[in-house]
Amino acid sequence: MNTLNGLPIFYATIEDNMDGIQAIAFVEAPATEVAMLKFNKDKERLSFVINDEDKKIVVAPIMVADTPIFRVNANGEQYYVSYTPEIIEQMRDKYFKEGLIYKFNIEHDEAQPVTGVYLVESYIVNEDTKAPTALGDIKPGTWIGAFKIENEDLWKEIKAGSFNGISLEGFFSYTETKNDEEMSAMMLILKQLRQLK
């Protein structure tokens, strides 16, 4: 098993119909540790400008590739989860197939659903499609999304800095290896780790 800082690294997989993204949350501290870009007229806050008109669009990684993300399960056990480019592509396809482009909330709280937000652009970073440089060093295989914010209250909070990124929520199976052949042979369905928050 691969480890980091003495903790195990598990690799997310999609094994059945339950696995995959359930919603995307606007959060103060994204698990990916990459803040979203805010495209607006506030020149002091801009990293990249589309034009002078306030488009109310934010761009952020939906999931970063091959990057261990620190997690703690309900039992207090610490570990890392990483997503391969192949799994991220499966996640993206399933997300669109299930029509989840309007499903958002605040800080992973189902009691705080958000309307007036939708995905307007989505792509996987590769040698031909680069992430905006203001997002930093983004690895190939990372899934980037551009989100249109028509919800005025949310937009004000984003501009005020209340939210700095997005975080997906969903169910995933896990394995101890990212090698495809080993993955099929060594699959560990860890129920206590399934809820990614």
Which pLDDT tens digit goes with each residue over 139-177? 899 999 988 999 999 988 888 888 878 888 888 888 886
CA distance linking residue 168 with residue 101, whole number of Å: 12
Sorted by sequence, the CB contacts under 8 Å of residue 102 that are 6+ apart come out as 115, 117, 118
Supply the mean pLDDT for the chain.
78
How many domains is the chain built from? Answer: 1
Q: Are the C-beta atoms of 32 and 63 separated by less than 8 Å?
A: yes
Which pLDDT tens digit goes with each residue over 13-51? 988 888 889 899 988 877 766 655 554 433 333 222 222
Q: What is the pTM of this model?
A: 0.77
The residue range of the domain holding 74 is 3-196
